Structure formats: structure tokens, C-alpha cells
Structure 1
Amino acid sequence: MTQGERVKSVRDKKQMTMEQFGEKLGVTKTAISRIEKGDRSLTEQMLKSICREFSVNEDWLRTGAGGPENMFIPEDMRYLNTVGRLGNEQNEFKKFCINMLMELPDKYWDYIYEEFKKFEKKEE
């Protein structure tokens, strides 16, 4: 399976049109079509964007390693990646919040959960 075919597999699994997929990546549906057909190589930047945006396993997208069942990063690893990205943010408030949450005693988690749910209700 080529890289283009693997890109198509990701798009199919996400049940997205070429236009929707390209929009998430900041490119046209024509660019996605060319990549999937093999008319255009997958650039390093595009490869990284697909992996980041859709939680795709980079080794799988590059080489097909592990087969189709290795297409996506497991959920627990996605959480770790997200926390790592937030920890490297330039925004000091985000870094402060992440560090505070990581140090928080278990007894406070239910309270925080209920408070966050209030924000969700206000948006509705």
C-alpha cells in the first residue's frame, strides 16, 4: 500500500470527503486527490499535519508498519501527546493549569468535573 493509499484509508475511516479532509489540513480537494492517486508526493509538513490532526500513527503513514490496525495512535497515547503539547505552550496560563492539574489530589477531581459541566451547560 502506498502513502497515498494510506492517506485515502485515513480519510475513509474518518468518513470525510476530499474537500472536508483538505479543509482540515488547509489544502484543496484537488491536492488530496493528487496525493491519494500518487500524482503528488506527501510532503513532510503534510504528513505531520495528517498525523497531528487525525491522531494517525506516523510510522504507519510513512511505511505501513503494523498494518491497518496500527493506523491510529491509541487513545492513552493521544492524551499523553496532548498534555505534552500543552506543557510546551507559550501561553503561561495553559502551562500553569496543566501543571496544577497534574499535581491535584484525587479528592478535588469530582468538584472540578462538576464545575466544568456548568460551562458546558451555559454554551447550550
Structure 2
Amino acid sequence: MSINQRVKQVRQALDLSQAKFAKAISISNGYIAGIELENRKVNERIIKLICSTFNVNEEWLNHGTGDMFNDASSEKLKIAMSIFKKLKPEYQDYVLKQIDALLEMQNKQDE
């Protein structure tokens, strides 16, 4: 399957028209149609826009390997870890205590 076909597959998986898909990534309807018909190439800018806008796995879009979409929880974990690493050690300890407290509250609510 070509990258052009994978772009179409993403659009269909999201149940979006070509017009809505194109608008979301700020390109013309005709350009998306050209991609899907394999008359136009998928450039790096479009790849980045599709991946960031729709949480698409860039490896899958480029090469067809892995899952079509990134796991939203992994993305949140990456963001949280990035912020956590920037904190001073005493603030990291505070964050960990707060996470423990939140988990305890959640467990009580689930009972």
C-alpha cells in the first residue's frame, strides 16, 4: 500500500469527507483528491500536519508499520514526563505524592 493510499485510509477511518479532512490540515480539497488518486506526492509538511492534527502514527503513515493511530495515553505520558523532568527534585516528590492521592481517590470512587 502506498503512502497516498494510507492517507485515504486515515481519512476514511476518521469518517471525514475530503473537504473536511483538507480543511483540518489547511490544504485544498483538490490537493487531497490528487493525493488519493496518486496524482500528487505526499510531502513532509503534509505528513506532519496529518500526524499532529489526527494523532496518526508517523511510522505507519510513512511505511505502513505499527498502528494507524498513536495511543492517546502514551502521548499524555510523554508530555507529563517531559514536564516532570524539568521540575526540581522537591517538586517531583510533591507531584508523586499528588498522583498517589489521586489514585487513592479514584480507587475509592470505583469501589
Fold shared per TM-score above 0.5: yes
Equivalent-residue separation in structure 1 for 2:9 and 2:40 (angstroms): 17
Matches for 1:69-80 after TM superposition, within 5 Å: 70-80=67-77
Between Structure 1 and Structure 2, how many residues are aligned?
Answer: 97
Give the fraction of aligned pairs with identical amino acids, expressed as a percent: 28
- Aligned-partner residue type, residue 76 of structure 1: S
Structure 1 segments (4+ residues) deviating >4 Å: 81-85
- Aligned-partner residue type, residue 28 of structure 1: S
Which residue, out of 81, 102, 106, partners 2:98?
106
Equivalent-residue separation in structure 2 for 1:38 and 1:73 (angstroms): 25
Q: Deviation at 1:11? A: 0.5
Computed over aligned residues only, the root mean square deviation of the Cα atoms, in angstroms, reads 2.8
Equivalent-residue separation in structure 2 for 1:46 and 1:83 (angstroms): 27
Q: Please tell me whether Structure 1 or Structure 2 has the larger radius of gyration of its CA atoms.
A: 2
Q: Is the 8 A contact 1:4 1:36 kept in 2?
A: yes
Q: Is the 8 A contact 1:55 1:78 kept in 2?
A: no
Unmatched runs of 5 consecutive residues or more in structure 1 = 88-97, 111-124
Matches for 1:18-97 after TM superposition, within 5 Å: 18-66=18-66, 70-83=67-80
TM-score by length of 2: 0.72
Equivalent-residue separation in structure 2 for 1:11 and 1:74 (angstroms): 18
Equivalent-residue separation in structure 1 for 2:39 and 2:81 (angstroms): 35
Unmatched runs of 5 consecutive residues or more in structure 2 = 103-111
Tell me: CA distance 1:5–1:81, structure 2 relative to 1, closer, same or farther (3 Å): farther
